[in-house]
Amino acid sequence: MFGLIATPTRRRALACLLPALGLLGCSAARPPATAWSSPVRPSVAAAATAAPRITFPPAAHAPVGATPHASVAVAPIFPVMLGIDTLEADGFDVLKGKRIALLTHAAAVNRHGVSTIEVLRHAPGVHLVALFAAEHDLYGEVPAGANYKDHLDPRTGLMVHSLYYGVNLGHRPNRTQLKGIDAFVIDLQDIGTRSYTFISALKAAMEGCFENGVEVVVLDRPNPLGGLKVSGPPLDAQ
């Protein structure tokens, strides 16, 4: 691209130029504008979109207190658009005018850190009427392996249906719980390990909905382990 660099001066020039080229050559497309006004703190929203700057320090031989070189603006890095983010970016079209139930937990938040429960509660044209929870309940306050019953959520006033009954990890939602529900939304963050029960809850919820003719909408989330490597001891059948 630059031909043969032969002199020390040219080598130094190229070394200074390469970092700038890296910044110019990489960019990220801005996520679509959201149709819902998120109750996010201004500082959080600003942090997600603010363009940071890199300031190069004075040269090694410069006197103490010398003014730094001019700073360079870095293109902002936008977070992953999760399933709840793409749903919001599309104006919640697949849920408009429907009475919905939501299976979720504390880790299910949008890219601004707002819970999926709150996003759907404020979504225009969407009617969130019931909540379902897996192991640990909605807010992670129930210990691992502990049973809990259906209860009223004090934060939203909605009924929370438990799909976790200890050894019965895959408790399906029944006809009574799904009565009047047009669509069943599932937003669960898993971590890619076999011992976690959230994928069992997802499977059971889908089966219960299919048995009762209820539409299912699964909001995707990336596997933190990448899904490219499988390791660890095999399951002991006994």
pLDDT digit string (tens) for the chain, length 238 residues: 333 334 444 444 444 443 333 333 323 345 445 444 444 434 444 444 455 666 655 555 556 665 655 566 666 666 678 999 999 999 999 999 999 999 999 999 999 999 999 999 999 999 999 999 999 989 988 898 888 888 999 999 999 999 987 555 568 999 999 999 999 999 999 888 878 889 889 999 999 999 999 999 999 998 877 777 778 888 788 8
Distance CA 120, CA 186 (A): 12
CATH number corresponding to 83-218: 3.40.50.12170
What tokens were used for 188? Answer: 């669960």
Q: What pLDDT is attached to residue 196?
A: 86
The CA-atom distances, in angstroms, between 158 and each of 33, 101, 132 are: 29, 10, 10
Tokens of 65: 């207190």
What's the residue count for the chain?
Answer: 238
Residues of the chain with CATH 3.40.50.12170: 83-218
**CA separation for the pair 235, 194 (Å, rounded):** 9
Q: Report strand pairing: 159-162 vs 151-152.
A: antiparallel
Largest CA distance in the chain: 80
What's the confidence (pLDDT) of residue 115? 95
- Concatenate the DSSP letters of all residues of 31-98 into one string: PPPPSS-----HHHHHHHH---EEEPPPPTTSPTTPPPPPEEEPPP-PPP--HHHHHHHTTTGGGTT-
Q: What pTM was computed for the model?
A: 0.66
Strand 53-55 versus strand 71-73 pairing type: antiparallel
